[in-house]
C-alpha cells in the first residue's frame, strides 16, 4: 500500500513539496519543489485506501474525521500543492473516472422540485445563525464580495458588491424589486435605504433567514416597503421593474434553467432590468465537487455559460452584459476563513471540533476552487428589450458614485432621523 500511495502522488503533478507519512510510518516526498512545503500523515491504512480510490470525496472526509493530519504547512497550502499545477484537473488518476460517472449520474438525478429545494436549503442555511455571525460581515452577506480597490476589508468589499449590483440595475425611486434568494435581507434593505426603491420583495426557502430578515426590516422601520416571504421562485406572482438574484442560482439545477428564466421574464416589466449573480465555471460542464454536494450544498451545481445561455435565449430575455469576477471570491473566502479560525473556540461551543474541521475544509477548498481551478462568479445583466440599458458601461460608475454619496449621507445621520428620512431623499 505504501508504494502504491507513493506512486499515486508521484504521478499527480503536484506543485511544491508534499511530505507524506503513511500509517505504517513510511515517509516519502512528492511534487516539483516549486511552491509550498506541506507535510501530511494518514492515521490508518483504510484512510490511505479511501484517498486512493476517491480523493475528491474522501480527502475532505478524512480531514473532517481527523484521519488525515496536516503536520506541516496550512490547509490552503495543501490545496495549492494538490491543485495549482493541475489548474483544476483531477490530481489523482482515479478521479477522472469518478468525474465522468458523477456527471452521468447528475443528469439522471437532476431534479430539484420545490420540496427537495426546501430540504436542500435547510441543510445549509438553517444552521445556527450564530455560526454565520462568526465569520460574515456585519450585514450578513453570504456571497462573493467585490474588492473594487486594493486594501478593502470584508465589510467594505461587501458594500461595494451591493453598490455595484444596484448601479448595474439602475435601481432607484419608483422601482418595485424582486430579490430571489434574499438571504438575511441585507441587499433588499440596501435597495430600499440607499437606492430608495419604492418596494422590495425578498424571497427565501430558509426559515432562519426569513425570520432574521423580517426582524431587520421591522427594526429599521422598513416593513412598509421591504417584505420578505418564505417562498419558492416558482410561486412568485406579479410584475417587477427590477429582479435580482445573488448566490441562489447555484441551487436551481440545470433541469430547471428553462423554467427559471421563463418565470423571470414573465415577472419582469417590459422596460425592466434583471441581474443574475452566480458562481459558475469557465471550463466544460461537470458535476460539482462530490464532497461539497454531500456535506455543504446538497443539490448544488455550478453552471457554465454554455449551460445557462440556451435557457436564457429560449426564455426571450436579452443578454446586455456579462461580467466575470475572477479571484474576488477567493479573497472573500480567505477573509471568511480567517474570521472563522479567529473565533474557532466559539464555533466549537456551538457545534463540535469535527464540525469545525468540516467547515474549515469547506472554506479552504472553496477558496482553492476560485484560486486554482475554474470557478468564477458571473454577473449577467438581462432585459426584455435591447434599448433599456445605456450602450456603454459608463453609467455603472456614475451610478456607483451617486450611491456612495447616498451611503455617506445616511451614515452621517442618527438612527432616529434615519427612520424619518428613509426613502424621502433620493437625490444624487
**DSSP-assigned letter for residue 84:** G
Tell me, what's the pLDDT at 12? 85
Contacts of 252 (CB under 8 A, 6+ apart): 112, 260, 301
Torsion sign across C-alpha atoms 371, 373, 374, 380: negative
Sheet holding 176-180, edge to edge: 226-230, 199-204, 176-180, 240-246, 268-281, 375-383, 318-325
Tell me, what's the pLDDT at 109? 52
Cell representation of residue 263 = 418565470
Contacts of 187 (CB under 8 A, 6+ apart): 141, 162, 165, 179, 244, 246
Tell me, what's the pLDDT at 428? 40
| C-alpha–C-alpha distance, residues 20 and 339, integer Å | 29
Tell me, what's the pLDDT at 124? 85
Tell me, what's the pLDDT at 69? 98
Q: β-pairing, 17-21 with 37-42?
A: parallel
Confidence (pTM): 0.91
In Å, how far are 19, 86, 157 from 33, measured between CA atoms? 11, 14, 35
| C-alpha–C-alpha distance, residues 101 and 298, integer Å | 18
Cell representation of residue 191 = 435597495
Tell me, what's the pLDDT at 418? 47
Tell me, what's the pLDDT at 422? 47
Q: What is the pLDDT along the chain (428 residues), one digit of tens a residue?
A: 899 999 989 888 899 999 999 999 999 999 999 989 999 999 999 999 999 999 999 999 999 999 999 999 999 999 999 998 876 555 555 555 555 555 555 555 566 778 888 888 888 888 999 999 999 999 999 999 999 999 999 999 999 999 999 999 999 999 999 999 999 999 999 999 999 999 999 999 999 999 999 999 999 999 999 999 999 999 999 999 999 999 999 999 999 999 999 999 999 999 999 999 999 999 989 888 999 999 999 989 999 999 999 999 999 999 999 999 999 999 999 999 999 999 999 999 999 999 999 999 999 999 999 999 999 999 999 999 999 999 999 999 999 999 999 999 998 875 545 455 444 444 44
Cell representation of residue 67 = 484521519
Cell representation of residue 142 = 453570504
Cell representation of residue 391 = 450602450
Residue from 251, 211, 9 nearest 119 by CA: 251
- What's the per-residue H, E or C state across 98-146? HHHHHHHHHHHHCCCCHHHHHHHHHHHHCCCHHHHHHHCCCCCCCCCCC
In Å, how far are 175, 195, 418 from 409, measured between CA atoms? 21, 12, 10
Tell me, what's the pLDDT at 413? 73
Q: What is the pLDDT of residues 150-162, one digit of tens each?
A: 999 999 999 999 9
- The answer to whether residues 65 and 354 touch, using CB atoms and an 8 Å cutoff, is yes
Residue from 409, 365, 382 nearest 272 by CA: 382
Amino acid at each position: 500500500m505504501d508504494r502504491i500511495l507513493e506512486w499515486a502522488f508521484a504521478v499527480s503533478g503536484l506543485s511544491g513539496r508534499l511530505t507524506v507519512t503513511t500509517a505504517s510510518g513510511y515517509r516519502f516526498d512528492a511534487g516539483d519543489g516549486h511552491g509550498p512545503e506541506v507535510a501530511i500523515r494518514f492515521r490508518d491504512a483504510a484512510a490511505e485506501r479511501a484517498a486512493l480510490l476517491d480523493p475528491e470525496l474522501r480527502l475532505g472526509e478524512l480531514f473532517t474525521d481527523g484521519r488525515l493530519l496536516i503536520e506541516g504547512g496550512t490547509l490552503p497550502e495543501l490545496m495549492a500543492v494538490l491543485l495549482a499545477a493541475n489548474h483544476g484537473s483531477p490530481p489523482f488518476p482515479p478521479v477522472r473516472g469518478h468525474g465522468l460517472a458523477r456527471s452521468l449520474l447528475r443528469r439522471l438525478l437532476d431534479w430539484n422540485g420545490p420540496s427537495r429545494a426546501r430540504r436542500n436549503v435547510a441543510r445549509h442555511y438553517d444552521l445556527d445563525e450564530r455560526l454565520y455571525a462568526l465569520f460574515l460581515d456585519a450585514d450578513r452577506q453570504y456571497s462573493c464580495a467585490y474588492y473594487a480597490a486594493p486594501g478593502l476589508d470584508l465589510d467594505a468589499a461587501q458594500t461595494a458588491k451591493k453598490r455595484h449590483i444596484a448601479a448595474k440595475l439602475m435601481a432607484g425611486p419608483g422601482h418595485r424589486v424582486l430579490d430571489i434568494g434574499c438571504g438575511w435581507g441585507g441587499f433588499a434593505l440596501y435597495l430600499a435605504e440607499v437606492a430608495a426603491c419604492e418596494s422590495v420583495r425578498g424571497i427565501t426557502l430558509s426559515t432562519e433567514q426569513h425570520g432574521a430578515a423580517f426582524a431587520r426590516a421591522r427594526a429599521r422601520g422598513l416593513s412598509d416597503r421591504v417584505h420578505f416571504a418564505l417562498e419558492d421562485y416558482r410561486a412568485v406572482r406579479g410584475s417587477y421593474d427590477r429582479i435580482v438574484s445573488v448566490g441562489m442560482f447555484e441551487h436551481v439545477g440545470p433541469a430547471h434553467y428553462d423554467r427559471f428564466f421563463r418565470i423571470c421574464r414573465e415577472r419582469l416589466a417590459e422596460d425592466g432590468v434583471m441581474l443574475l449573480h452566480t458562481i459558475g465555471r469557465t471550463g466544460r460542464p461537470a458535476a460539482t465537487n462530490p464532497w461539497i454536494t454531500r456535506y455543504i450544498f446538497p443539490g448544488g451545481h455550478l453552471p457554465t455559460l454554455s449551460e445557462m445561455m440556451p435557457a436564457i435565449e429560449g426564455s426571450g430575455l436579452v443578454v446586455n452584459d456579462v461580467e466575470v469576477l475572477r479571484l474576488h471570491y477567493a479573497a472573500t473566502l480567505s477573509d471568511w476563513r480567517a474570521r472563522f479560525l479567529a473565533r474557532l473556540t466559539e464555533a466549537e461551543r456551538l457545534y463540535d471540533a469535527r464540525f469545525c474541521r468540516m467547515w474549515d475544509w469547506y472554506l479552504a477548498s472553496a477558496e482553492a476552487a476560485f484560486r486554482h481551478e475554474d470557478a468564477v462568479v458571473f454577473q449577467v445583466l438581462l432585459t426584455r428589450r435591447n434599448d433599456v440599458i445605456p450602450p456603454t458601461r459608463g453609467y455603472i460608475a456614475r451610478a456607483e458614485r451617486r450611491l456612495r454619496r447616498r451611503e455617506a449621507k445616511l451614515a452621517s445621520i442618527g438612527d432616529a432621523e434615519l427612520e424619518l428620512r428613509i426613502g424621502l431623499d433620493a437625490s444624487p
